[in-house]
Amino acid sequence: MAKKLPIISPDKFHDECAVFGIYGHKEAANLAYLGLYALQHRGQEASGIVSNDGEQFHIEKGQGLVADIFSQQALSRLPGTMAIGHNRYSTAGGAGLKNVQPLSVNFAFGNLAVAHNGNLINATMLRSELEAYGAIFQSTSDTEVIIHLIAHSRADTLLERVIDSLTQVRGAFSVVIMTDQGIVAARDPHGFRPLCLGRFRDSWIVASESCAFDLLDAEYVREIEPGELVVLDHRGVTSYKPFSQAKPAMCVFEYVYFARPDSRIFGGGAVYSIRKAFGRQLAHESGVSADIVIPVPDSGVPAALGYAEGSGLPFETGLIRNHYVGRTFIEPEQSIRHFGVKVKLNAVPEVLQGKRVVVVDDSLVRGTTSRKIVKMLRHAGAKEVHMRISSPPIVSPCFYGIDTPTKKELIASSHTKDEIRKYITADSLAYLSLDGMVNAAPGVSGRYCDACFTERYPISFTRAEELQLGLFEASR
C-alpha cells in the first residue's frame, strides 16, 4: 500500500512573488496574463489580476499556476485598459485564497488594488496599531497593512496618501497600486527587489523582471530606481523621489537563483551572463582534477557552463530534469532509491560511468538534496563526485521577501565545510567566495544585500521587529 508523505519541498530558497502592471491598452488583462505567465518562476502558489474599466474594478484570482487559473472565460470578465497582477509564493501571512493578491478595496478615495513583492519587517507592529484605531483586516498578509495605512492617512490627495503609507513601512517592497485614475509603482529605498519599466506601443508596463516584456515584444525602458515612485496615467510616466535616501541593498540572490536567466535586473547585464561569470570565478578559486562538468538543472546550468569555460573541462548533461513535476504526495515503495530527487532528476550512466565528475549547483541550503544527488551519481557509475556551489555558504534566513528556512535548518550555519562534505558524501566541496561573487556581479560591491551569507542585515531591527521575525528562534 502506498505510504502517504508530506509534500516534497525542494531544497532551495523558495521564490518570492511577481508583480505586473499595464496602463493604456484595450487588452490590458490579456497582457497582464502573459506577463504573469513569463514571471511564473517567482511564485507558483497563487495568482490574481485586477482590471479597471473606468467605472469599476474587476478581479479574478485563484490558487495554482497562471495557465490553470485564467481561462478565456476568466479573462473575458476582466475588461478595461489598465490592470495589475501578482504571482504568489507566501512569505508573510501564509497560504489561503484570502491572501492571494492583488488585494482590492473601495474606500473614500475610490477603488484601490495593491500587488506587493517583498516583506515588511514592521508589519505586525503596524497592524496592531491600526487595529487599535478600528481597522478590520480581511487577510493575514503584510500587504494589507499598506492598504489600511493609505485609508487612515490624513494627506489630502490619494498619491500623497500612498507616499505617506510607504514612508511608514520598513523592509522590502516593489509594489504596484492601481487607482481609478492610473497605476502607481514604487520600490523601497534600498531596492531589495527588482522592478522594471517598459513600453508596449502606446502603453506603459511595470514588471518584476524584463523577461515579462520579451514575451509581449515590449521595449525595456529602464529599471525603476531604489526609492523611486512612478505614476502611469494619461500624462505618461511621472517620476517622484519621495523617500529618504538609503544605501542600496539589492538582493544578490536574485542573480544566484531567483531571476530568470534571460532577464535584466538591477540595471546590470543579463542574469545568464552573471551566472556564467560566477561559474568561471568558482573554477578559478576551486579547480579540481576531473573529467567532466555537469550542472544540477536547470538553475545550475549557466554556472556550470562558466565553470567548464574557466577550468577547460568538457561540459556534459549528466542529470536530466523532468519539467512536468508538480508537488509529490506519495512514495510508491520504500525501496525506490532517493525517490524525492528522482521524481525531478535522473542520472545518465553513459555520461557518468567511470568519470571524475564536477557537479555545479547554484546554492546549498539544507544539504538533503545534494546528498541524494551525489549518491545518485555514484550509483550511475561516477568514479568521483566533486560538488561546487556558485554562491557562498548560506548561514542566515532572509527577512526581505524570500521564504527561507530557519537558521537552524541552514546546514552551513552550524556545520563546517568538511562536515557538510561528509554529510553529502562528496569527494570534495567548494563554494564561491563572497568576494568572488560580488566582484563577478555588475557594479560596485557595496550595492548588494548579502545578509543570507553574512548576517549583515541592511536594516537594523528594533526589539519588536526581532520578535516578529523570530530572529532568536535558533537559540530558544
pLDDT digits (tens, 9 = 90+) for 422-442: 999 999 999 999 999 988 988
Strands (E) in 369-419, as ranges, are: 384-389
- What pLDDT is recorded for position 337? 55
Task: Say what the pTM is.
Answer: 0.90
Reply yes or no on whether the pLDDT at 94 is more than 70.
no
Cα separation, 97 vs 89, whole angstroms: 12
361 labeled binding residue: yes
202 is in an annotated binding site: no
Q: According to DSSP H, which parts of 77-194 are helical?
A: 123-132, 143-152, 158-168
Length of the chain: 476
The confidence band for 469, taking pLDDT boundaries of 50, 70 and 90, is low
**Mean pLDDT of all residues in 2-8:** 34
Residue 196 annotated as lining a ligand binding site? no
The reply, when asked if residue 449 is annotated as ligand binding, is yes
Say whether 188 counts as a known binding-site residue. Answer: no
Give the count of alpha carbons within 13 A of 414, CB side only: 11
Name the active-site residue from 17, 149, 175, 437: 17
Q: What is the pLDDT of residue 467?
A: 66
Percent of the chain scored above 90 by pLDDT? 78
Q: Residue 335: pLDDT band by 50, 70, 90 thresholds?
A: low
- Sheet of strand 46-52, all strands in order from the earlier edge strand to the far edge: 57-63, 46-52, 82-88, 17-23, 203-207, 196-200, 219-223
Report pLDDT digits (tens) over 7-58. 334 565 544 699 999 999 999 999 999 999 999 999 999 999 999 999 999 9
> Is the pLDDT score of 338 beyond 80?
no
- Cβ proximity of 470 and 407 under 8 Å: no
Rounded distance, CA 293 to CA 108, Å?
61
Confidence of residue 336 (pLDDT cuts 50, 70, 90): low
* Residue 329 confidence (pLDDT): 44
Residue 447 has pLDDT above 70, yes or no: yes
Give the pLDDT score at 323.
Answer: 78
98 has a pLDDT exceeding 80? yes
Determine if residue 211 is labeled as part of a ligand binding site.
no
Is 17 an active-site residue? yes
- The 3-state DSSP class for residue 402 equals coil
Give the Cα separation of 87 and 100 in Å (integer).
Answer: 8
Tens-digit pLDDT profile for residues 312-330: 999 999 999 987 765 444 4
Q: Does residue 475 surpass a pLDDT of 80? A: no
